[in-house]
Structure formats: structure tokens, C-alpha cells
Structure 1
């Protein structure tokens, strides 16, 4: 069997490349993806990039790690960043509802926008409609990139922290799903009363969506039909803009200025998810920069292996109780050494399955990361 050759992932080269303007971190839940995104953003900022980091994960870990009491839909400067090289760091969290409201306000007249924002169907859809979060993630990324291009903000790098698990790549499907929704029979029937008017339009509407309306009426109340009809009539002219902007952002994700970073842990399920991400990105023609394997137990070359540590513990225990503490510590080391061996095997098999893809292994930290200094240590490990 031929030896697997390690392919390094040069993280510092990635964030130092001025041609890279967007970095998208994706991965399954519980692998340290949010921390990785924040650490990348901090390291890039302290190396001279002007960075904004956007999290779509509703957890507050990013805000806590960056020393902010909360994140919202507005980019906020992060304190404690070394700006001696000219960099800066802003952070924000996607507010799905607020982003949708901003889109409406930007692409409708004030009167029409007020009508839409007050519509009960819009309020329900903008808060919980399937796919809204992914579409609004596309909207917000597009907004940030446009602000960069137009010189409204001086950022030169956007780092996106995506939702956990396979939904992290759902935003790649947002333009297609949106187009299917807007072009589908159901939405055309919803538009029919507004376009046709009068009793004929109402008959078409009632006949086409009778079953669906009964279900939705239970959810939204007796005014559902009128609310939906009013909403569709008010937003008809905006639908094309929604689709166009989503497709523009999708195209942005496939350009050379964008880089995807897949984050995993040295565990079977997490590595399986990482393989899925890699395959999906390849099938969509999206630029993969590399893979970060977080929280790996690493055994130094001069440290005892599990077998020798266990033999030493057995010998100390046989000599009497005076060596109980040393034997207990050796037992702990045995567990760590066995974990390191298992992690090394998982990473080795992953590399063998994905030759040519750069991998950066980040050792597990002694304590949880909860502040700027902790993020800085993770960033140093990423760049090592």
C-alpha cells in the first residue's frame, strides 16, 4: 500500500491573498466551526485585512468569544484587536426577519413597503417560511459584498459562518428554490386575482388553492386568503428582483474571489459530513480552499505511547500505594494516547479518500475558547 502524502492547507496564504474577498466556513454541528470562523477573522484582521465576520448560526458563542454582549444585523467593531498592521474587525449575526424587512424597504415605495411589512402573511413568512433563512443569508452576503465594491465600507474580506450540518449548504440552493417557488403553479394562482381582478380572478384563485387554503387558514386565521392575496399583489413587482439578487450572489460564490473552508472534527460522523460538503462543492463548481480538522488529540514524538504508559502504570501499581498518583496520571495519559491514535487514523483515512485536498489539523485546546486571546491562539494554530 502506498503511503498517503499529507497535503498542507496554508491558511495564512489564504487570508493574506488580496484577491480573496469572501471566505465561507461550513461544517456539521459541534466541530468548532463558529470558533474557526472567528479565529480566521481575527487572524486576518491582525495581519492587515479589514474584515467583517457574519454568523448565521443562532448560537451566541461568536459574540462571547469576540467580547461582545450581543450580535445583531448591524456590523459592530470588535475591541482588543491588534490594528498595528492596518487591519480591523467587525462582527454581526444574521437577523432573518430584519434582513427581509430591509429588502422590502429598499425595493418598494414607502407606502408599499409599509403595506407589506404590516401584512400578517408576510410577517409569518419572513419569520418561519422554509428556506427564508438561507435566502436571507444570500441577501446579506450580497449586501456586504456590494458595500465593499461600492466603497460604502472599507472591508476587503467577508468571512461567513454558516448553520451546522448539511443545511450549511442549503444557501447554495436558495436561488433555484426561490425560482421554483416564484414560477410554480401555486404562486401563479396566488397572483391571478391581483392580475385578473373581479369574480373571474377570485374563481381561479379559489379553485386552484382550495386544499392549500384550508391548511393555511388553520395556521394563519380566517383572513388568510385576503392577507395572501394582498401580499402577493403588493410584492408582485419585487419577485424578479429577489431572484436576480440571489442568482448574483450564487455566482459570487463560484468566483475565484471566494474560498470555502470545510471544518470537521476527527470523528467518523463529522468526517463523513465533511466528505459530503467536499463532494457537493465540487459538483457545484465552488472553490474549496481546504479542510480544517479541529480538536485533534496530538501525541508528541517524544511522548509515551499508550502501550508503554500502561505498562508503567501496571508496574507502579504493583509496587504499592505510594505510587498511586503517578499511576493514575499514567492511566489518563493512556486514554489520551489511545484517542490520539484513533484521531490520527481517522485523519489518515480522510486524507487517503481526498488526495490533493489541503488539510490543517488544529490540536485540541486545554480550555474552551471564550475570549480574544483564546481566538488568537486558535488562529496561531491555524497558521502554524
Structure 2
């Protein structure tokens, strides 16, 4: 019994020694870091700036998220702002603290630039929806480099360009100014100079808002009467759904109108197809009126494209009626129309007469057949001429008025 008790006590002692040894080994770095923080803050005065005259603070913006409020036409942006400066009082030798070359410390214990960034559009807004959330800790490097962060949320109105709808764009501008958030009397003669290299704007972690893509941005800093930082963002609507609803049907109806010109004007099917095409055009205009943004006054090019296509379709209807009236004309062999037909059909231009219709024989006399052939040849020439005119008009309309997406410009 005594032997068993001795063995148990021995095992408990060995386990206790092992655990204490492991804890001590694991906590060596923690103890060194605690000693480092204690030494750094021992004689540190948090309300005194690092230098007597000017402290240069480098700024880095990381855009995290953006979204549009379609009802109010507002652009909302969430941003992390990293402030980096040099404070020689917070430098140390890593070899004196277990080779620790960086640590974190609570921001309330050290000096920080006592300012935040406000959007100029919100300075005099009583219902200010902006907020700034500073980070609780800052990162220190052994060289005395300090990095703290601010989380910003801002709203602004954007300049919309609706002409290219549904690939319309919004140009959003933020102008941030550094405003002192806490008046500290000891800093009255101290100046904070902000440095903002353009490459210090990061978009790789940006979460895109629903329905929009970022296609261009630029930034700049101004040191006149204080520090102001300007961001310009250009966003483009994600238009895949509108392409299937608006763009493709618009092109299809235009092609439908052109194809109807190839049909024989003497058949009722041509006038039925043209009338159906005209009905589709008006239906498209009604559909577009549902999806068009209501906050803008600019006229989208796709709307002008469809209106121009309605005019072309109406011209095809008038052309069809005119050709049928031409078919009933009485033309003598000596008329100028016969000479005109021969001058076109007797040259290489005859290969461009598409389609070229033939006389439908109904048991009439030879004179009547010749007269009908003259009329049908004239109708073929006139129809072909207008076909090429309509084709050129549609090509111009497509190049000038058809919306096209823009790529990312950076």
C-alpha cells in the first residue's frame, strides 16, 4: 500500500514538473512581449507628438464594399484607412526581447493623429449618416514604425450618364478632408502632414455591390488649406439581363424589318410581317419604359435606336403600298421608265438587283405581259435601292446608337 502511494506521488510530481516546464517554454515569447510593452510605455507621454514641428503620416485606403441605393440614388462605400507614421520613442532592439520585431499595442496608450476623414458633401448635413470606427490596437515595428486603422462609412450622390443604358455609368466623387476630432492644446504648434501615394489604394479585397461593376478609378491629394483626398469612381451597370430583354429584341426587330423587304410586295405576307414588326417595336418601347431609371432626364441611345427603327419600318410599309400602286400604272414602250430599266438591267448593276421578281402570267396578251414586265422590273429596281438605303441606315444607327459595354480602364 505504501509502495503504491509513493509511486502515485512520484508520477504526480513528474507530471507537474513537465506541465510547468512546457508552460514556461511556451510563455517565453509572451513574457518578452509583455516586458517590451512595459518598457515602451514606461516614460511615454501619449498626448505629445513624435516630433516638435511636423509628423508625416502616410495614408493607405482599402476599399471593402460599395453599393447603390436605387431609391435615393445614393452611393454607399465602406473603407479601411491605414495611417502609418514614425515614432522614435516606440523603437527597440529585437535582440533584447527574444528577437521580437513587431508587436501590437492598444491605441489609447500611444499618440495618434487626432483627426478623421469626412466627406465634404456631408459636412453641413444635419442627418449625417457617416461614421468612423477607429481600431482598438495599433501595430508597432522595431524601427519605430506605427500603423493604426480607421473604418469609414460614407454616402454621396453620383453623376449618372444614362445615354448608354443599359450599360449606363455613374461617376461618383468623394473628397475627404482631414478634420481634427479632438482639440489637444499641446498640438497647437504641431503640424500633421499627410502623404498619399496613388498606389496606396487597394481594390483586391473589394466586394462588389449587386448590379454594378467598377470600371475606372483615380485618386489625388491636395495640401492647400489642409489635406483633402479626392477619389473618382466610375461604375457600370451589370446589363446581362437587360441585354436579353432590350438589346437582342431591338436587333431582332431591325433584322425582321430588313428581311421583310426581300418578300414579294404583291403578296399579303409582306404587309403582315411589316405590321407585326411595327407592333413589336411599340411593345419594346413599353417594356423599356418599365426598366428605365426614373431619376435621370437623359435619353438612352437604345430608345432613339428603336424610334429610328420605327421610322424605317413605317417607310417599308409606305414603300410596299407605293410599289403596289406602281404595278397598276399603264406604261408605254417609249416612256422614260423603259429607258431607265434598260440602263440599269443592261449593265453590271443588274447583279445588285436583289430580289428581282418575275411576271406572273395569267393568260393575258403579249402586250399586257410586256407592260407588266416593265412595271415589275421598275419595282425590283426601286425595292433594291431602298433595301440598300435601309441597310446603310441600320448600320449607322448600330454604330452610333447601339449601347456598348466599357472595359476596366486601369
TM-score, structure 2 normalization? 0.22
Q: Which protein is richer in helix relative to its size?
A: 1
Higher RCO (CA-CA < 8 Å; seq separation 6+): 1
Query: Which structure has the bigger radius of gyration?
Result: 2
